């Protein structure tokens, strides 16, 4: 028996909802929030897929940015997307090729959370 049918939402903590709304909505291009509930400490964006929205939630006192769990975005070309994010003043590590499998790149939101993007590895 299959218990789950996919991911509904992935949540990441932030210290400023207004800054997060701008970064995730405008800088990353996710658009207007699907749910915008700052009074509840929660803003949710569509990810571009039928399932798997991305929520930003207001962090509790003493919170530190996370790198143990990453939201990984699909993109057609990791190198081009990395260049575009850098042009938008987003901190990005250099893309990494895992030959025959994937190209991925770490990048970071204004709060220090590590995010990732991946694209198919180029054909040999």
Fold match flag (7-59 vs 70-124)? no
Say whether pLDDT at 19 is over 90. Answer: yes
CB 103 within 8 A of CB 95: yes
For 7-59, CATH gives 3.30.720.120
What pTM did the predictor assign?
A: 0.90
Asked: is 70-124 a CATH 3.10.180.10 domain? The reply is: yes
CB count in 10 Å sphere of residue 80 = 12
Sequence ranges of the domains in the chain? 7-59, 70-124
pLDDT for 124: 61
- For 47-86, how does the pLDDT look when each residue is reduced to its tens digit (9 = 90+)? 888 888 999 999 999 998 877 788 999 999 999 999 999 9
């Amino acid at each position: 028996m299959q218990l789950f049918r996919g991911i509904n939402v992935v949540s990441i903590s932030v210290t400023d909802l207004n800054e997060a709304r701008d970064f995730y909505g405008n800088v990353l291009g996710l658009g207007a929030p699907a749910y915008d509930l700052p009074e509840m400490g929660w803003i949710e964006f569509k990810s571009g897929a039928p399932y798997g929205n991305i929520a930003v939630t207001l962090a509790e006192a003493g919170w530190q940015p996370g790198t143990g769990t990453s939201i990984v975005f699909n993109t057609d070309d990791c190198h081009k997307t990395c260049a575009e994010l850098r042009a938008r003043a987003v901190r990005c590590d250099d893309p990494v090729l895992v030959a025959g499998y994937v190209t991925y790149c770490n990048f970071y939101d204004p709060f220090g959370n590590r995010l990732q993007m991946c694209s198919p590895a180029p054909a040999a």
